[in-house]
Structure 1
Amino acid sequence: MSGNGTRTVSTGGVRLAYRAWGAEEGRPVVLLHCLGEDGEDWRGPLVSQLGGAHPVYALDLRGHGESEQPGSGTPEDFSGDLLGFLDALGIERAVLIGHAFGAVVAYLFAQEHPGRVDLLVLEEPDALRPPVEPPLPEPEPAAAAPAFDPRAQPEWTGRRSAPEPRWWDRLAAITAPTLVIGGGDDSHLPQPELAALAERIPAGRHLTVEGAGHLVHESRPGEFTSAVRQFLAEHTPAPVHEAG
């Protein structure tokens, strides 16, 4: 464990850092941060509230935080990293909660590996519905953002502006119940696109936190946490009591 409380795993030759909080047992929750941040971004009410009943893991995506910067960062790379991370920790199925870029990683992973995803929560995800005209704006990373590979931002900007059609088409392949959370008109993302993304997912639902902007879990932590907890509670199987 590092001095910052992170642990590491290696998958596909890439070292990934992560934080672990919460219960020893229960339905695992994996948190995926936005571009330019790291897993520390999630520390706060969400982790505190979920940690009582769930093991909670916050991954530093490749090229971010304390994870390795291998120099390549295709969607397939990030999806492969997440699969390797789950395998390394022995997690068969997880709740994935992603913000922005992390939300895209989550839903692309859920397209390719539906059996590994229990529930999806997507906070302010790019819908990536082609064609994107004009290209979506790329916000600047915060001045205090942790170290991340400077090649990641222009690469992702290009992919957002020319998304592969299959990313949108295969939303219909997601089997996990999904909650898409938007920040309303204060967000730079077109909110109707978030609603369309939720509608495309068979078990998708859209929720808007008006006035929250792009950083819903930071600007409205109480409302965000309540929405996530309610969603998880709605999709928690009732305990089975044996007769006798």
Structure 2
Amino acid sequence: MPQLEVDGARLTYDDEGPRDGAAVPLVFVHGWTANRHRWDHQLAHFAPRRRVIRLDLRGHGESTGAGVRTIAALADDVLALLDHLEVERFVLVGHSMGGMISQTIALAHPERVERMVLVNSISRMTYSRGRGLLMAASTLAPFRLFVAANIQRAFAPGHPREEIRAHIRSSADTPREVVMTLYGAMREFDVLDRVGEIRTPTLMVHGYHDIQLPVKQMLRMAKAYPDAVVRIIDAGHELPVEKPAELTEAVDRFVTERP
């Protein structure tokens, strides 16, 4: 597994697929408490014919490092990796927090982003009064209970319990400082008033049963985008593992269609 030292962190990443194709690389960015293996299905599908890059974000998976307190700082890590790999132009695919990172990159460097896919992601975190109080109270729970509650509710009803337990265990291995700091960073993330600047063709894929980041919040974001396509899938918040084949098909169709 290749690794890159970036500002006190060691980022683990995969860089697979042919380098000589005409298509720009696909860059997959996972979400909060997850890791690059959320994209296993997509890597297996695309890498035989297209360059695919994915990483464990700072403090996640097999990457080290902490202290990052903003989504913008995580975006800087992604760009540092792409600069190291000499990838100038790319397609971004971001899930949840990874979608926030992707939007940050698209706003800062529109000339580098050919297309973008936002999976279960939004531009502004919005809570009702009741849900806001519930989320604030949840931070007072024991750490593993806090993680378990958030991961459990991320899946649509009926998803296999053993798979959910496996994701809870994996997420709970993420250092507490990283989990709680980035939880706050997501709550503070807000680019909704700026997404009208994003001219990058964008696909928004969302789970109908997503209660973490509800569909109506995504649709509010979609209305602000100049060039957005929306697809709703019968799943919860964890589309990459709940409905991997459907997500892969949606991404494939979007990134290969002619402008």
TM-score, length-normalised on structure 2? Answer: 0.79
Q: Which runs of 5+ in 2 are unaligned?
A: 136-148, 153-166
What residue in structure 1 maps to residue 4 of structure 2?
9
Are 1:190 and 2:214 an aligned pair? yes
Q: Partners in 2 of 1:162 and 1:16 — Cα distance?
A: 24
CA distance 1:132–1:90, shift in 2 (3 Å): farther
Are 1:154 and 2:180 an aligned pair? yes
What residue in structure 1 maps to residue 156 of structure 2?
none
Q: Partners in 2 of 1:82 and 1:132 — Cα distance?
A: 32
Q: Counterpart of 1:144 in 2: which secondary structure?
A: helix
Are 1:122 and 2:118 an aligned pair? yes
Deviation of 1:152 after TM superposition, in Å, equals 2.3
Are 1:107 and 2:109 an aligned pair? no
Deviation of 1:153 after TM superposition, in Å, equals 2.4
What residue in structure 2 maps to residue 201 of structure 1?
225
CA distance 1:81–1:160, shift in 2 (3 Å): closer
Cα contact 1:79–1:105 (8 A) shared by 2: yes
User: Identity over the aligned pairs, expressed in percent?
Assistant: 29
Q: Partners in 1 of 2:233 and 2:168 — Cα distance?
A: 26
CA distance 1:77–1:159, shift in 2 (3 Å): closer
Cα contact 1:131–1:163 (8 A) shared by 2: no
What residue in structure 2 maps to residue 230 of structure 1?
253
Cα contact 1:29–1:56 (8 A) shared by 2: yes
Q: Which runs of 5+ in 1 are unaligned?
A: 1-5, 237-244
1:24-43 maps to which residues of 2 (within 5 A)? 24-26=19-21, 27-43=24-40
CA distance 1:154–1:126, shift in 2 (3 Å): farther
Deviation of 1:131 after TM superposition, in Å, equals 7.2
What residue in structure 1 maps to residue 159 of structure 2?
none
Are 1:90 and 2:86 an aligned pair? yes
Higher relative contact order at CA 8 Å, sep ≥6: structure 1 or structure 2? 2
Cα contact 2:10–2:63 (8 A) shared by 1: yes
Cα contact 2:71–2:185 (8 A) shared by 1: no
Pairwise CA RMSD of aligned residues? 2.2
What residue in structure 1 maps to residue 150 of structure 2?
139
Matched to 1:233, the amino acid is: T
What residue in structure 1 maps to residue 18 of structure 2?
23
Moved over 4 A (4+): 129-133
Q: Partners in 1 of 2:170 and 2:52 — Cα distance?
A: 22
Q: Counterpart of 1:17 in 2: which secondary structure?
A: strand
Matched to 1:36, the amino acid is: T
Matched residue count: 227
What residue in structure 1 maps to residue 193 of structure 2?
169
Cα contact 1:35–1:101 (8 A) shared by 2: yes
Task: Summarize deviations over 1:127-153 as a string: whole Å, max 9, x none.
Answer: 315676443858148333164231122
TM-score, length-normalised on structure 1? Answer: 0.84
Cα contact 1:12–1:84 (8 A) shared by 2: no
Deviation of 1:173 after TM superposition, in Å, equals 1.9
Q: Partners in 2 of 1:36 and 1:143 — Cα distance?
A: 9
